[in-house]
Each structure stands twice: as structure tokens, then as C-alpha cells.
């Protein structure tokens, strides 16, 4: 299995520009998570989807952030407009939820975002 695939791996952009991060979860997984990791705040859950439906977006920092999952094999996280404080590593993770059992999450390699 290829694992969780994220693109791009690195992104450098200027303040005010739109940034789109992409994720392909592991085939057959039905839950997808977007995280942000910084030195100051550690790993933070931004939003997660179950069966392509957003379940909890309470971690999304503000309206500049939006996430979509149009189908089971693709998700995007968009920042518009981007700001320097958005600089971080963004991880996508996927899992297979079975009934009420807590699932194991598998992480992608991350996208390193730098907003100048």
C-alpha cells in the first residue's frame, strides 16, 4: 500500500496568496484528519471527516481555512488569504473506523508551508 499521500511536500508563498494542500488517504479508509504541527503548539487537529462528511471542524483556526472531501480518495485544505502565522507542517491522516472502536490513524509525510 502506498500509504497516505500528500502534495505538495513543500510550499513557499507570499502573504495574501491562496494555498491548497492535497491529500489522498489509504484506500478503504473511511476517516480522514487534517493536523497542523508547530514548535509552539505541537500537533493540533484541525478537522476530520467520516465517510466524506465533515464531523468536527472546531479546530479550524478561522474562516480563512476551509477543507473539502469530494470523494473517498481525495481531500483538500485551503488557506485564503494566507498569513505568516500559518507557517507550519500540515499533516493528513486516515483511518478505518469499525463500529464504535477507536481507529488507528496513519499519517502522511506532511506539507511544509512557509508564508513570507
Partner 1 sequence: QKEVEQDPGPLSVPEGAIVSLNCTYSNSAFQYFMWYRQYSRKGPELLMYTYSSGNKEDGRFTAQVDKSSKYISLFIRDSQPSDSATYLCAMSAGNYGQNFVFGPGTRLSVLP
Instruction: By CB under 8 A, name the binding residues for partner 1.
Output: 4, 31, 33, 42-45, 48, 50, 55-56, 91, 93, 95, 97, 100, 102-110
- Smallest gap from Cβ 16 to partner 1, in A, equals 27
Nearer to partner 1, 43 or 114 (CB): 43
Beta carbon of residue 19, minimum distance to partner 1 (angstroms, whole number): 19
Closest CB to partner 1 among residues 15, 77: 77
Q: How far is the CB of 17 from partner 1 (least distance, A)?
A: 24
Cβ distance to partner 1 smaller for residue 18 or 44: 44
Cβ proximity to partner 1: between 37 and 64 the closer is 37
Q: Enumerate residues 6+ apart whose C-beta is below 8 A from 9.
A: 109, 110, 111, 112
Exposed/middle/buried for 18, CB within 10 Å: 0-12, 13-18, 19+? exposed
Amino acid at each position: 500500500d502506498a500509504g497516505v499521500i500528500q502534495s505538495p511536500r513543500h510550499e513557499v508563498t507570499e502573504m495574501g496568496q491562496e494555498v491548497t494542500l492535497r491529500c489522498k488517504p489509504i484506500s478503504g479508509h473511511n476517516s480522514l484528519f487534517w493536523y497542523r504541527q508547530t514548535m509552539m503548539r505541537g500537533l493540533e487537529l484541525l478537522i476530520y471527516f467520516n465517510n466524506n462528511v465533515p464531523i468536527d471542524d472546531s479546530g479550524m483556526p478561522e474562516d480563512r481555512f476551509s477543507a473539502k472531501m469530494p470523494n473517498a480518495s481525495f481531500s483538500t485544505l485551503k488557506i485564503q488569504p494566507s498569513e505568516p502565522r500559518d507557517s507550519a507542517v500540515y499533516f493528513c491522516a486516515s483511518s478505518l473506523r469499525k463500529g464504535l472502536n477507536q481507529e488507528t490513524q496513519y499519517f502522511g509525510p506532511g506539507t511544509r508551508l512557509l508564508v513570507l
